[in-house]
Chain A
C-alpha cells in the first residue's frame, strides 16, 4: 500500500487528502498540521472579519472527517526534518519531544505561506508581531481582529492589495475608522491600472476608508499609530498587516530542495527530488501566482490523479487567474493582461470610465478573444466577460453590449408600432393582425376578442397587450360599421 504524507493541513493539504481518498480507498494518507484545529476555508476570512460568517462555519472538515476517511491526522504536530535517503519525516508535537519518524512513498509539501511584515520599527518584537499588530492570515488572526476592532476605533491596514482591501472593507463595515497605507501610487497594482485603482479608491472613500498611497510606515507607536516615511502620523489603535505573503519554504531549504521564491516544481508538481511534491502557496510553478486558492485546488486534483495512478499523464499547466474582490457593495473583477494601452496596435482595447458612479471597464481583445479585463461597478458585465475569458468564447460583435453584460429587455413597444405579424398571444399563436381583423369584424370587447381569437385564454399574460390594442383600435380607427 502506498503511503502519502502531506505536510500542512490548510486549504491545499486538506483538498489533496479529499481528492486522494475520493480516487483510492486503500492508499495510506497521513496529514501533519501545525494548527491545533481542523482545516478552514481561508477565502472566507474576510466574511468573518466583516461579521457575516462565524469562524466555525469556515471549517473544511468536521471532527469525524479523519476517522471516516481513514486519514492519519496529526493536529498540532510539526515536521522538523525530511530524511530523503531513508524516506521518512521527523515529527513531534509542537514544542515536544521527537516522535517515531513517519515513512513515505510520496511526500507532499503544502506548507503554505506566511505574512510578509514591512520593515517598520516596532512592528515586531523578538520575531513576533507587537501587541496591537495583527496579521490577516489565520482564523486566530480574525478572532483577534474581531475581539479588538470596535466601532469608531481608528485602525490602520498595511497593504492596499486584494486582501488588504477586503480587510479594510470588513473593518469599515464594523464601524472602524480605517486608513489603508500602501507603498504604490494606486491600489491593487498587480491587477489594476492606475485609472481603475483611482476609481476603486474613490468608491472605497465613499464607504469611509482613507488612503495613504505612495507611503511606507517607518515606525509603530503602540496604542497611538504609525509614523509614515513622509513624517506624517496615522492614528491607529490596531494595525492589520496585509502587505503580501512569502512562501513557507524553511523545511524544503533544510531538505536541500531547489527553492527560489517558493519550492520549485515542474508540471508534475515534483520538486528537485521526484519523490517530494509541493502544491499551493509554498510551491513555485511558472503558470501561477501565489495567494489564491484556485491554483492550489487545481494542483491537488492533478497530484491526486498522479499519486493514485488514476491518470499518470495528468499535468498541471497553470491556472488562469480571475481576481474577484469579495467586499460588500464593491464589484470588481480583473483578469489577464490589463496593462495594454488603448492605442496599442496589435490589440483592441475598450475603455469606459464613470468615476462618479464607481464604474470603470477596460477590455483587451486579441483576435476577438478577451485577453484582459478590469470591470468595476458592473456586475453583469464582470460575470459575462469572465465566462468569455475562461471559455475562450469569441466576444460579441456588438462590443457595447459586452460592456452592458446582459441582453436587456427591449422597451415595451406601443401597439401602433408592432408589425401586423407580431405574435400577441403566444399560447395560441394570435398575431396583432388577427386581433385587428377580429375587432373589425365586431369583436370589440376583451371577452369577444377571446372568443373570436382565443387570445388571453392560455396563461393570461397577454391580457395587458390585448387591452392596449383594444384602446389603440378604439382611439385611432374608425368604428366598425
Chain B
C-alpha cells in the first residue's frame, strides 16, 4: 500500500477498515510532538538528560526494557543491542511474548526452526483443506482470506466467529480444551487409516511416544472433554488427508499449556505427512505487524540477533565481535515476570501498551506506580504513556525507513512517505541520544540503512540469516530468510529436504491434555475468553483515536448466550460486570445465540474499567512463558 498526502491506497492484497483509516493517525490532533517530563512539555535534551541520569543511578539489572512486535527489524535489533550494550541489563523482553512465543517454542522443538509460515503465503491457494486452530482472520487479517478462497476450511474456535461462519466444518471446543481435541484428532487419524506411515518413518522421530499419549484419547473421550462430536472429528481427519495445511493462531497458543497445544497440532500435521512438502504444511499466523522479525533480532529475553540463543557461547562471541564489546549479559525474565518484578526500578517501554495488554493488568499498573522511572516512546498518549515520568514522541509507519519480516519470513521494505511533524524523532535517534549520554553513542547509528547493514553482519550464520539481504535487493526481489549471501535467492520453502534438527528429522513431542489453569467453579462458573474485533488493533491506543472505527465499535462489550444473560438478569444493551479473581470489567451485554452457555467473550482493545486484561490469568506456560490470556473463570453480574 502507499500513502499520498496522508491518504492510503491499497496494494493488490486488499485492506480492511483499519488499513483504510490508518492515515488519519498521521495527522491526528492527539499526536505527540514534544517530549513530556512529568506531563510538562520539555526539550529533547532535557528529557534525555533526565532519563540518562536516573538510569545511571540504578544497577544495570534494575533497568528493564519492554519492546514491541510492531517495531521495524532495525529498531528491534537496536533495542536489544541498546539494552545489552548501553544499559548492560539482562532485563529485556517484549510484547511478542504475549503473541507468538508458544508457537515459536513448539516450532523450534518440532522442526529445529521457527518461521511463521515455512512456505509462501500464496501456496495456500492450492490447498484442498486448511485447518485454522484458534485463528479468526476474517476479523484480524481479512485480506488473508483471499488466499483461502479455494480451500475447504476447518475452523477450531469456541466461538462462532465470522471465520467460523465461512468454514466447511466448525469445531467448537470448550475453552481450554484444544489439546484434548488435537489428541482426539490424532487418534482418529490413526484409526481411520489416514496417517502417512512412510513419511513418519522416513522424516520424523518420536511417533511412538506421542502415539502412546494419543492412544488414550479415543474420539469419544475427546468428545466428552471438548464437546466436539466424534463424528466431526472423523470428518475433520478425512478432510485433512491430502493437500492440506494446519495453521495455528493465538486462540490455541495463549494458554498456560500453549506450547504443548501447538505441539499437538504439529504432531497431527506430522502424522498426516504435511510439513516439509510442497503443497501442504504447518504454519503459525503472525499477530503483529512485525511479529516475525521482531522475535529474531534480540529484543527477546533469551535471544541474540539472527535467532541465536543468548546462552550459546559461540553465538555470544559472534555478537560480541560484531558489537565490539567483551561482555554480554545472560538471559533475562519473560515479559509478564519483568512487568511485575519488584527488583526493577526503571522501565523503558517501546511500541507497547502493557497497562492495557498485559494479563492481570491492575497488578502491572500497581507495579508501574512503584517504579522510580517509567519511560514510554510512542506517538499517541497511550494508557501506559499517561503513567510515564517521561514520554518521547516518536515516528510512525509512514514516516520512517526500515524493514519488516512478514508471516512467511519475507523481508519487506518500509519506505518513508512523509516527514514527521516537528518535534518528533525516530526511536533510533532516541536510542542514540540515550546511548551517547551513557558513553556509547558511537555504537548506535541513527540511519536505518546503517543499522540494517550491522544487522546483516550480526545475523550472518544464524538461523534467520539476513546477511545476503540489502535494501537494494529488496527493491526488486522477494526474499525469504535465510539469505546467507548476496547471490543467494532466499528460501521461500523450508524443510523440503530436511528439517533443521541435526538429524534432519522432525520430532513428535509427546504432550498430554492438562486443561485450563483456572477451571470454573461455583463462585466463578463461566469461562471468559478474549480476542480482537475487526475495527480495533491490540490495546486500541491507535484505533480508538479514529472516528470511523470508534463509530463502528465504540465501547467495551461482552458477548453472552441469551440464556446466560437472562439468568444474570441482563438483556442486550445493558451494562454488566464481568468478575474474576483478579478484577472486574464493566461491559455492555451483547446477546449472541451461537455462544456456548458457559463462556463469555471480551475484546481486549478498551481502556480503564473496560480492560479485558483486568480479568485474565497470568498463569505462564512453563516453556514459552506465555500467559493464559484465552481462558479464565468469571461470573456475570448486573452493573
- What's the minimum C-beta distance from A432 to chain B, rounded to whole angstroms? 15
Instruction: Decide if B534 touches A427 in the complex (CB within 8 Å).
Output: yes
Per-position 1/0 for B158-199, Cβ under 8 A of A:
001010011000001010000000000000001111000000
Instruction: Decide if B215 touches A57 in the complex (CB within 8 Å).
Output: yes
Instruction: Decide yes or no whether B224 CB sits under 8 A from chain A.
Output: yes
Instruction: Decide if B594 touches A407 in the complex (CB within 8 Å).
Output: yes
Q: Which residue from A41, A47, A62, A428 sits with its C-beta under 8 Å from B20?
A: A428
Instruction: Decide if A384 touches B227 in the complex (CB within 8 Å).
Output: yes
For chain A residues 36-73, which have a beta carbon within 8 Å of chain B?
A: 41, 43-44, 47, 52-53, 57-62
Instruction: Decide if A41 touches B208 in the complex (CB within 8 Å).
Output: no
* Chain A residues closer than 8 Å to B149, beta-carbon distance: 460
Instruction: Decide yes or no whether A296 CB sits under 8 A from chain B.
Output: no
- What's the minimum C-beta distance from B149 to chain A, rounded to whole angstroms? 7
- What's the minimum C-beta distance from B622 to chain A, rounded to whole angstroms? 15
For chain B residues 559-604, which have a beta carbon within 8 Å of chain A?
A: 561-563, 566-567, 593-594, 597-598
Q: Which residue from B229, B230, B566, B593 sits with its C-beta under 8 Å from A407?
A: B593
Instruction: Decide yes or no whether B496 CB sits under 8 A from chain A.
Output: no
- What's the minimum C-beta distance from B89 to chain A, rounded to whole angstroms? 36
Instruction: Decide yes or no whether B145 CB sits under 8 A from chain A.
Output: yes
Instruction: Decide if A428 touches B230 in the complex (CB within 8 Å).
Output: no
Instruction: Decide yes or no whether A454 CB sits under 8 A from chain B.
Output: yes
* Chain B residues closer than 8 Å to A380, beta-carbon distance: 229, 231-232
* Chain B residues closer than 8 Å to A53, beta-carbon distance: 190-191
Which A residue sits closest to B567, measured CB to CB? A394
Q: Which residue from A382, A387, A394, A409 sits with its C-beta under 8 Å from B563?
A: A394
- What's the minimum C-beta distance from B254 to chain A, rounded to whole angstroms? 22
Instruction: Decide yes or no whether B16 CB sits under 8 A from chain A.
Output: yes
Instruction: Decide yes or no whether B14 CB sits under 8 A from chain A.
Output: yes
Q: Which residue from A294, A386, A391, A460 sits with its C-beta under 8 Å from B14?
A: A460
* Chain B residues closer than 8 Å to A391, beta-carbon distance: 174, 520, 598
Instruction: Decide if B216 touches A41 in the complex (CB within 8 Å).
Output: yes
- What's the minimum C-beta distance from B635 to chain A, rounded to whole angstroms? 14
Which A residue sits closest to B218, measured CB to CB? A43
Main SS at interface, chain B: helix
For chain B residues 87-146, which have a beta carbon within 8 Å of chain A?
A: 137-139, 142-146
Task: Report Cα–Cα, A386/B174, bound state, in Å.
Answer: 12
Task: Report Cα–Cα, A396/B565, bound state, in Å.
Answer: 12
Q: Which residue from B10, B192, B231, B552 sits with its C-beta under 8 Å from A457?
A: B10
Instruction: Decide if A427 touches B17 in the complex (CB within 8 Å).
Output: yes
Instruction: Decide yes or no whether A477 CB sits under 8 A from chain B.
Output: no
Instruction: Decide if B231 touches A379 in the complex (CB within 8 Å).
Output: yes
Q: Which residue from B137, B552, B597 sits with its C-beta under 8 Å from A393?
A: B597
For chain A residues 382-436, which have a beta carbon within 8 Å of chain B?
A: 382-384, 386-388, 390-391, 393-394, 396-397, 405-407, 409, 426-429
* Chain B residues closer than 8 Å to A261, beta-carbon distance: none
Instruction: Decide yes or no whether B453 CB sits under 8 A from chain A.
Output: no
Task: Report Cα–Cα, A387/B172, bound state, in Å.
Answer: 12
Taking residues whose C-beta sits less than 8 angstroms from the other chain, chain A's interface range is: 35 or more
Which A residue sits closest to B548, measured CB to CB? A429
Instruction: Decide yes or no whether A74 CB sits under 8 A from chain B.
Output: no
Task: Report Cα–Cα, A429/B209, bound state, in Å.
Answer: 49
- What's the minimum C-beta distance from B115 to chain A, rounded to whole angstroms? 24
- What's the minimum C-beta distance from A368 to chain B, rounded to whole angstroms? 9
Instruction: Decide if A458 touches B224 in the complex (CB within 8 Å).
Output: no
Instruction: Decide if B534 touches A426 in the complex (CB within 8 Å).
Output: yes
With a 10 A CB-CB cut-off, give which of B520, B563, B594 has the most chain A CB atoms: B563
Task: Report Cα–Cα, A324/B14, bound state, in Å.
Answer: 48
* Chain B residues closer than 8 Å to A409, beta-carbon distance: 165
Instruction: Decide if B563 touches A396 in the complex (CB within 8 Å).
Output: yes
Q: Known contacts A57-B211, A394-B567, A429-B535; decide if A459 and B231 are in contact (CB<8 Å).
A: no
- What's the minimum C-beta distance from A190 to chain B, rounded to whole angstroms? 17
Instruction: Decide if B598 touches A59 in the complex (CB within 8 Å).
Output: no
Q: Known contacts A379-B231, A386-B227; decide if A62 and B215 are in contact (CB<8 Å).
A: no
Task: Report Cα–Cα, A388/B215, bound state, in Å.
Answer: 26
Instruction: Decide yes or no whether A322 CB sits under 8 A from chain B.
Output: yes
Q: Known contacts A62-B212, A458-B17; decide if A324 and B220 are in contact (CB<8 Å).
A: yes
For chain B residues 223-274, which have a beta carbon within 8 Å of chain A?
A: 223-224, 227-232
Instruction: Decide yes or no whether B25 CB sits under 8 A from chain A.
Output: no
* Chain A residues closer than 8 Å to B430, beta-carbon distance: none
Instruction: Decide yes or no whether A270 CB sits under 8 A from chain B.
Output: no
- What's the minimum C-beta distance from A180 to chain B, rounded to whole angstroms? 21
Task: Report Cα–Cα, A382/B174, bound state, in Å.
Answer: 15
Instruction: Decide yes or no whether A237 CB sits under 8 A from chain B.
Output: no
- What's the minimum C-beta distance from B420 to chain A, rounded to whole angstroms? 27
Which A residue sits closest to B137, measured CB to CB? A459
* Chain B residues closer than 8 Å to A459, beta-carbon distance: 14, 16, 137-138, 142-146
Q: Which residue from A379, A387, A393 sits with its C-beta under 8 Å from B230?
A: A379
* Chain B residues closer than 8 Å to A382, beta-carbon distance: 223, 229
Instruction: Decide if B220 touches A326 in the complex (CB within 8 Å).
Output: yes
- What's the minimum C-beta distance from A27 to chain B, rounded to whole angstroms? 21
Q: Which residue from A47, A379, A457 sits with its C-beta under 8 Å from B191?
A: A47
Instruction: Decide if A427 touches B224 in the complex (CB within 8 Å).
Output: no
Instruction: Decide if A60 touches B215 in the complex (CB within 8 Å).
Output: yes
Q: Which residue from B146, B172, B232, B535 sits with its C-beta under 8 Å from A460?
A: B146
Q: Known contacts A407-B593, A409-B165; decide if A426 and B139 are in contact (CB<8 Å).
A: yes
- What's the minimum C-beta distance from A424 to chain B, rounded to whole angstroms? 13
Which A residue sits closest to B193, measured CB to CB? A52
Instruction: Decide yes or no whether A331 CB sits under 8 A from chain B.
Output: yes
Task: Sample 5 A-B pairs with CB under 8 A, ordered by A number.
Answer: A57-B211, A383-B228, A387-B174, A426-B162, A428-B16
* Those 8 A-B pairs whose CB atoms lie nearest each other, nearest first: A459-B142, A379-B231, A459-B145, A383-B229, A458-B142, A324-B220, A427-B16, A379-B229
Residues of A within 8 A of B (CB): 41, 43-44, 47, 52-53, 57-62, 294, 322, 324, 326, 331, 379-380, 382-384, 386-388, 390-391, 393-394, 396-397, 405-407, 409, 426-429, 454, 457-461
Q: Known contacts A62-B208, A324-B230, A380-B229; can you find 18 more A-B pairs with CB under 8 A?
A: A43-B218, A57-B190, A58-B215, A60-B215, A326-B218, A380-B232, A390-B224, A394-B597, A396-B563, A406-B172, A427-B534, A428-B17, A428-B20, A429-B535, A454-B15, A458-B143, A460-B145, A461-B166
